[in-house]
Amino acid sequence: MKNVDGENGSTVVKDLEERLGQQVYRVSPNPDFRSALKDHLKASNIYQRRREIGAIWVASLGLTLFLVLLGTLIYALVKPRDLPKD
């Protein structure tokens, strides 16, 4: 390939891109292959473990939120009773 500078270089690149665009066509996977791959991945151990970890994570966040709200409610109910009387 020639060493070309300036505007000539950009036209060479554009021409090359156009030729490659004409030669290469868009390839998409077969839908049957995609569904088989999806089923295979869902059945894999790592995917199952990831789902279990995600479920544990969500449950622990929910429990933490519940406990924080319960603690706040208890604190709000008990706190006014402990105020010193004037």
CA atoms of 47 and 59, how far apart (whole Å): 18
The phi, psi pair for 20, rounded to 5°, reads: -65, -40
Of 83 and 45, more confident:
45
Number of helical (H) and strand (E) elements in the chain, helices listed first: 3, 0
pLDDT per position as a tens digit, 14-63: 988 888 877 777 778 889 999 999 999 989 999 999 999 999 999 999 99
- Predicted local distance difference test score (pLDDT) of residue 45: 93
* pTM recorded for the entire structure: 0.48
Of 74 and 1, more confident:
74
